[in-house]
Each structure stands twice: as structure tokens, then as C-alpha cells.
């Protein structure tokens, strides 16, 4: 079942037209990847869905309800969470303090239960629970950003370049976490430049270039299409 729909979305930064009649779908409980080079419009798409850069026209719907026009906090209350590029962790707060702060607006019933779920997904965070954010590695910071988005009622996670700048072993840990998140029934929209990771974990892909969707399909459709890989992703088997 389709959970998220963008239909004819146009987004501007000031007078600059960034997204052009952009349409895409994300299925419930699946990992949908938004692929493309730097500056193609991936981050703007994520920000537009979250209401941070509202669309000038077009419709965004979540589970059949129109959400374009809602404030970011209203979208958050629907269980739509953002893992931003740059992570947005408070460096002077400990791991646990960052998580507890995120619970303030997340309508948490039992904080201990929520923390237990996070520790189970990312055991290294429990080991570092008293450490300030400033002392964490890049991979640990990304785990903390993902963990924060999973607190409370989470139906859809929007992830913006979660593996950027991370070592291969850490990327594998993030991949495994994404697999467990999908298995839990949470829908994921992943903006990602790591094509190999995306094709391994993604159920469906939309390739964006210059603010327009150029190709949509499953992993195998991209793997077998040399023109698409070369033209829009900068990769090839050759």
C-alpha cells in the first residue's frame, strides 16, 4: 500500500525554482531511496515533505491525508520524523540527555522502554550513554541521530545522506540498522549518494536530477540500465 505520495510538487528557494512538478510514491513498510548527485534536489525534497521548505504548488499526502501546508511540528505529530544531514546533535549533552530531550515532544509513555529499544538497536550507544555528543565518532553520531528519530510514535523516517563521510564498516552498521527498522514496519525514505548501499537495502528507487524525477524502479532495473547509471548516478560496470 502506498503510504507517502508527492504529486506535481514545485518548491522554490526565494526566486530559485528547485523542484519541478515532482511526483513520487513510497510504499508502507518499505525503504524507498531518492538517488542523485549533489545539488540534484534530494535534500530539498526531504525538507519539502517535512514542511521546512513548503511547496509552492502540488500535493503531499501521508496515508491519504494531505500534509502539504501543515507546520513541521504538525507533521512530526503524525509520526513523521527527520534524520537531517549534519545530524543536529547537541555536543555538550550526553547520549542519553540528547535522547531524553527528544522525548519531550514525542509523547513518550515510558522513557525506560523507549531507551531500551534504542539500546537494543545500537548497543554502542548504551555503552556511551554518559559521553557528551562532542566525544562521539561520526558513526556513533549518526546512530544517535537515527535513534532519536525512533523515539515514540514513528511511522515514517526521512533520512538525508545518513552514510555521508562514514567508514565502510560503519556504513555496514547503518545498513543493518536500516534493515531492522524496515522489519519493524517503519516506512523509510532515504536520500542517499551511496548507490551500492541504496541498491542493497532499497525496495524502490527514484532518481532525481535538476529537481525532476528521471527514473523510478526497483534495484535490478537500475543495475541493468547502464544509461541511467552513467547519466544520473555517475557509476557504471565498465
C-alpha distances out from residue 89 to 79, 148, 230, Å: 20, 9, 36
| 184 within some domain | yes
At 234 the three-state DSSP class reads: coil
Residue 104 inside a domain? The answer is: no
| Residue owning grid cell 534536489 | 41
Is 92 part of a structural domain of the chain? no
Is the pTM for the entire model greater than 0.95? no
C-alpha dihedral, 100 to 101 to 102 to 108, nearest 10°: 50
Between the alpha carbon of residue 155 and those of residues 19, 125, 134, 184, 187, the distances in Å are 25, 23, 29, 10, 6
d(CA 144, CA 186): 17
Section 169-196 average pLDDT: 91
The larger pLDDT score, comparing residue 233 to residue 11, is at: 11
d(CA 47, CA 9): 12
Give 74-128 as a DSSP string: HHHHTTEEEE-TT----TTSBHHHHHHHHHTTTT-S-HHHHHHHHHHH-HHHHHT
CB 201 within 8 A of CB 189: no
Give the domain range for residue 188: 2-87+153-233
**Domain-embedded: residue 136:** no
Residue 7: inside a domain:
yes
CA distances from 33 to 62, 90, 96, 152, 189 (A): 17, 28, 30, 24, 6
* pLDDT, tens digit (0-9, with 9 covering 90-100), for 80-89: 999 988 778 8
Looking at residue 204, what is its pLDDT?
Answer: 96
- What are the strands of the beta sheet with 204-209, ordered from one edge? 80-83, 156-160, 187-192, 31-35, 204-209, 212-217
Residues 39-67 have pLDDT tens digits of 999 999 999 999 999 999 999 999 999 99
Place of cell 525554482: 17
Per the domain annotation, does 140 fall within a domain?
no
Q: How do residues 183-196 score in pLDDT, each as one tens digit?
A: 999 999 999 988 98
- Return mean pLDDT, the chain: 92
Q: Is the pLDDT of residue 33 over 90?
A: yes
**Which CATH number characterizes residue 215's domain?**
3.40.50.300
In a domain, 33, yes or no: yes
Give the Cα separation of 60 and 27 in Å (integer).
Answer: 14
> Which pLDDT belongs to residue 85?
84
Residue 147 included in any domain: no
Number of domains in the chain: 1
Q: Which pLDDT score, from 0 to 100, does residue 109 have?
A: 75
Amino acid at each position: 500500500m502506498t503510504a507517502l505520495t508527492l504529486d506535481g510538487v514545485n518548491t522554490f528557494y526565494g526566486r530559485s525554482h528547485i523542484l519541478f512538478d515532482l511526483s513520487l510514491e513510497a510504499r508502507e513498510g518499505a525503504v524507498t531511496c531518492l538517488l542523485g548527485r549533489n545539488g540534484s534536489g534530494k535534500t530539498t525534497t526531504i525538507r519539502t515533505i517535512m514542511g521546512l521548505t513548503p511547496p509552492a504548488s502540488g500535493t503531499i499526502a501521508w496515508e491519504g491525508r494531505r500534509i502539504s501546508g501543515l507546520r513541521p511540528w504538525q507533521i512530526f505529530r503524525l509520526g513523521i520524523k527527520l534524520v537531517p544531514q549534519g545530524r543536529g546533535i547537541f555536543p555538550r549533552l550526553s547520549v542519553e540527555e540528547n535522547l531524553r530531550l527528544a522525548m519531550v515532544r514525542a509523547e513518550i509513555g515510558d522513557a525506560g522502554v523507549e531507551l531500551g529499544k534504542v539500546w537494543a538497536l545500537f548497543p554502542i550507544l548504551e555503552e556511551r550513554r554518559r559521553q557528551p555528543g562532542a566525544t562521539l565518532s561520526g558513526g556513533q553520531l549518526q546512530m544517535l541521530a537515527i535513534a532519536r528519530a525512533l523515539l515514540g510514535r514513528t511511522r515514517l523516517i526521512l533520512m538525508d545522506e545518513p552514510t555521508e563521510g562514514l567508514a565502510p564498516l560503519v556504513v555496514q552498521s547503518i545498513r543493518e540498522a536500516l534493515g531492522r527498522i524496515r522489519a519493524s514496519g517503519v516506512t523509510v525514505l532515504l536520500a542517499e549518494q551511496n548507490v551500492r548501499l541504496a541498491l542493497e537495502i532499497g525496495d524502490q528507487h527514484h532518481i532525481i536530477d535538476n529537481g525532476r524525477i528521471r527514473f523510478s524502479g526497483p534495484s535490478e532495473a537500475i543495475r541493468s540500465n547502464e544509461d541511467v547509471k552513467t547519466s544520473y548516478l555517475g557509476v557504471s560496470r565498465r
